[in-house]
Structure 1
Amino acid sequence: MREYTIFAQQDEEIQANLSLLADKQTRAEIYANALSILGRKLALHINPKITSSEKIVLACTSEDADWLGKGILQTLWNTNINLAVFWNLRAKVDNDRELTIAPIVKSYIEEISNCKTLIICKSIIYTSCVVRTNLMFLINQINPDKIFIVAPVMFKSAENSLNKEFESSISKKFEYIYFAIDDEISDEDEVIPGIGGNIYQRLGLGDIQIKNKYIPLLVKDRRNAIPV
Structure 2
Amino acid sequence: MNNGRTFTALAEQDPTAMTLVEELPSLKGNPDGYREAMRKLGEHLADSMLPQLEAAPAKDVCVVCTVEDADFLARGLIEELESRNVGARTRMICMWNERLKSDGVSVSPVLRTYEESFDKDDSVFVIVKSIISGACVVKTNLTKAISSANPKRIFVAAPVMLKGAEDRLSREFPAEVAGKFEFFHFATDSQKSDDGEEVIPGIGGSVYELLGFGDGKTKNKYVPNIVRERRRKEHPSIQPA
Q: Do residues 180 (structure 1) and 190 (structure 2) align?
A: no
SS for the counterpart of 1:147 is strand
Contact 2:41 2:76 in 1 (8 A): yes
- Corresponding residue of 2:40: 37
The Cα offsets for residues 84-104 of structure 1, whole Å up to 9 and x where unpaired, read as 00011122222x2xx211100
Letter aligned with residue 63 of structure 1: E
What is the TM-score with the length of structure 1 in the denominator? 0.94
Q: Give the number of aligned pairs.
A: 225
1:27-106 equivalences under 5 Å are: 27-51=30-54, 54-76=59-81, 77=84, 78-79=86-87, 80-94=89-103, 96=104, 99-106=105-112
* Counterpart amino acid of residue 140 in structure 1: S
Structure 2 residue 112 is matched with structure 1 residue 109: no
Paired residues for 1:112-127 under 5 Å? 112-114=118-120, 115-127=122-134
Read off the aligned partner of 1:203 and give its amino acid letter: L
Aligned with 1:23 (options 22, 26, 33): 26
Q: Distance in 2 between matches of 1:42 and 1:217?
A: 21
Deviations 1:146-187 (A, max 9, x none): 110000000002111000000111101000000000011112
Q: Structure 1 residues 25, 55: CA separation in 2 closer, same or farther (over 3 Å shift)?
A: closer
Query: Offset of 1:26 from its aligned partner?
Result: 5.4
Which residue matches 2:216? 208
- Structure 2: runs of 5+ lacking an equivalent: none
Which of 173, 195, 205 aligns to 1:197? It is: 205
Confirm or deny: 8 A CA contact 1:20 1:26 kept in the other structure. no
Query: For residue 152 of structure 2, what is the aligned residue in structure 1?
Result: 145
Q: Which amino acid aligns with 2:36?
A: N
5+ residue gaps, structure 1, are none
Alignment RMSD, CA only? 1.4
Match of 1:167?
Answer: 174
Report what 1:219 is aligned to.
227
Does the CA contact (< 8 Å) of 2:131 and 2:203 recur in 1? Answer: yes
**Percent identity among equivalent residues?**
38
The whole-number CA distance in structure 2 between the counterparts of 1:163 and 1:11 is 26
Give yes or no for contact 1:57–1:84 (8 Å, CA) kept in 2.
yes
One-letter identity of the residue aligned with 1:165? E
8 Å Cα contact 2:27/2:34 also seen in 1: no
CA distance in 1 between counterparts of 2:119 and 2:77 reads 21
What is the CA deviation profile of residues 89-148 of structure 1, one whole-angstrom value per residue up to 9, with x for unaligned ones?
122222x2xx21110011100113435211110000011000000110111111001110
Aligned mates of 2:166, 2:210 — CA distance in 1: 25
